[in-house]
Amino acid sequence: TNAVLAVEPVCTHAGCTVDWQKDQKVFNCGCHGSVFGPDGSVKRAPANKPLKTYQAKIEGDTVLVKA
């Protein structure tokens, strides 16, 4: 099994949905311009709290998320 990190794509600033930018490997929030790293950490304000993350693992074709 492979451990991965599941990131909830909800901006911690005002709750907009963030978009994964696979070229830059960041999550972008279109509402006010916050940027988050692949681990959910804040790269650019106005958000000041990281995205919520969950421990997850891959078993075969299934991704199991620990809530």
The distance of closest approach from Cβ of residue 65 to ligand FES in the complex, given in angstroms and rounded to an integer, is 23
Which is closer to ligand FES, CB of 44 or CB of 57? 44
Which of 31, 37, 43, 57 forms a contact with ligand FES (CB under 6 A)?
Answer: 31
Q: Does 7 bind ligand FES (CB under 6 A)?
A: no
Per-residue H/E/C for 7-63: ECCECCCCCCEEEEECCCCEEEECCCCCEECCCCCEEECCCCCCCCEEEEEEECCEE
34 touching ligand FES, by CB under 6 A: yes
